[in-house]
Amino acid sequence: MQPPDDVQTPDQVDALVQLSFAVQLVLTRVAAEHDLSVTQLRMLGILRDRTPTMAQIAAYLELDRSSVSGLVDRAERRGLVARRPSETDARVTLVEATDRGFAVGAQIAAAVTRGIQSLLEGSPAPDIEAVVRIAARAIRTAG
Amino acid sequence: MQPPDDVQTPDQVDALVQLSFAVQLVLTRVAAEHDLSVTQLRMLGILRDRTPTMAQIAAYLELDRSSVSGLVDRAERRGLVARRPSETDARVTLVEATDRGFAVGAQIAAAVTRGIQSLLEGSPAPDIEAVVRIAARAIRTAG
DNA sequence: TTACTTTAGTTGGTGGCACCAACTAAAACA
DNA sequence: TGTTTTAGTTGGTGCCACCAACTAAAGTAA
């Protein structure tokens, strides 16, 4: 009697978890090079193409709103982001990257790309495409 | 002019990073159910089949030895692990899981397996096998 | 309009996590 | 023997994440 195709063995689960930690290690190292946490790095990533409200950042990162307050406080103190009031809702605070924030964000993105590429280096293209498919589905599930 | 097969596009890098966060989210949630951090969860995982020294835990988790001191302190306070002196080297402290630690570890492992399986659910078996291959290579690279 | 409710964000407090520097004790080495 | 290395702890710092409590503004209903 065989298990069905889409039931995973512990080995497969383990592989995915290990892979995840390998990726996180890349992120942690890149962040540390700029004296940032992975969370700060993620926030800068968000700000690359958006000017979200505090609450939107919290929703995206799945953090408490008060956690985002602290996060933005520290990033602002480093001159990476700036708070700006909304013009349509006086309760709302928008967060945007400063020039320096954008610059650091770009450097980080490049370093992360290099680091992840080196993880994938040597793997056959079809395997990598399979990962992209799996990721797309997993993200839908996790969201 | 085409890029060679083993150079990744930003999309591919992004997919892998997103996948990693999806996995971490599973781990974070499972850990939180037991009021533990992901690091504590990893340590319990190590102790499932080993009785390492403090330094070995530090090496495995890539943490400072002092971080492991605190980690073990808190786990010990919760009755999940115990310190035991080495019989051959008086400098060394061995860390072992208690009965309760093993029990919690087993529950966590089961919950993580379920959570990761649900991420992979519906993906074709060959794709999953590709991820396992990629993971094996990436872990060698990252190590 | 007024009164109630919801939403956005901050503050203060707690605890965990991770680091570094400095330290003690034991082992290894010369 | 005396020196160096290794194992682990302690104290201090800062970040991170949470919760509860709070203010202010917006939305809603009488």
Position B142 scores a pLDDT of: 80
Q: Does B2 have pLDDT greater than 90?
A: no
User: What is the C-alpha to C-alpha distance for residues A96 and A107, in angstroms, rounded to an integer?
Assistant: 17
Q: Which two tokens stand for residue A45?
A: 């990533």
Instruction: Return the C-alpha torsion angle A96, A99, A101, A105, nearest 10.
Output: 110
Q: Which two tokens stand for residue A85?
A: 């009031």
A5-34 burial, b if ≥16 CB within 10 A, otherwise e? eeebeeebbbbbbbbbbbbbbbbbebbeeb
Pick the residue from chain B with its C-alpha nearest to A21. Answer: B20
Position B7 scores a pLDDT of: 52
Q: Which helix (H) or strand (E) holds B125?
A: helix B125-142
Ramachandran bin of B12, using left for φ above 0, alpha for ψ from -120 to 50, beta for the remaining angles: alpha
* Lookup result for tokens 């990436």: B138
Position A3 scores a pLDDT of: 45
Round and report the angstrom distance from CA (A31) to C1' (D16): 15
| B121 reaches A (C-beta below 8 A) | yes
Beta-carbon separation of B27 and A6 below 8 A: no
Contact yes or no for A55/A62 (Cβ under 8 A): no
Round and report the angstrom distance from CA (B55) to C1' (D9): 13
Low-confidence residues of chain A: pLDDT under 70: 1-9
In this predicted model, what pLDDT tens digit does every residue of B82-104 receive, in sequence order?
999 999 999 999 999 999 999 99
Q: Which residues of A touch B135 (CB under 8 A)?
A: 15-16, 18-19, 22
Position B20 scores a pLDDT of: 96
More confident call, B4 vs B101 = B101
Give rounded-to-5 percent helix, strand, coil for chain A.
65, 10, 25
Position A7 scores a pLDDT of: 52
Position A4 scores a pLDDT of: 46
User: What is the C-alpha to C-alpha distance for residues A124 and B119, in angstroms, rounded to an integer?
Assistant: 23
| B132 reaches A (C-beta below 8 A) | yes
* Lookup result for tokens 């006086």: A90
Return the beta strands (E) in A4-120 as ranges. Answer: 81-85, 93-97
Q: Does B29 have pLDDT greater than 50?
A: yes
Q: What is the set of domains in chain A, with CATH numbers?
A: 21-142 (1.10.10.10)
CA A112 to chain centre: 10
Residue A64 has what DSSP assignment? -
Pick the residue from chain B with its C-alpha nearest to A131. Answer: B131
pLDDT category of residue B6 using cuts at 50, 70 and 90: very low
CA distance B107 to chain A (A): 14
Average pLDDT over residues B99-122: 95
Beta-carbon separation of A132 and B13 below 8 A: no
User: What is the C-alpha to C-alpha distance for residues A136 and A61, in angstroms, rounded to an integer?
Assistant: 18
Q: At what angle do helices A99-120 and A10-33 cross, to 10 degrees?
A: 140
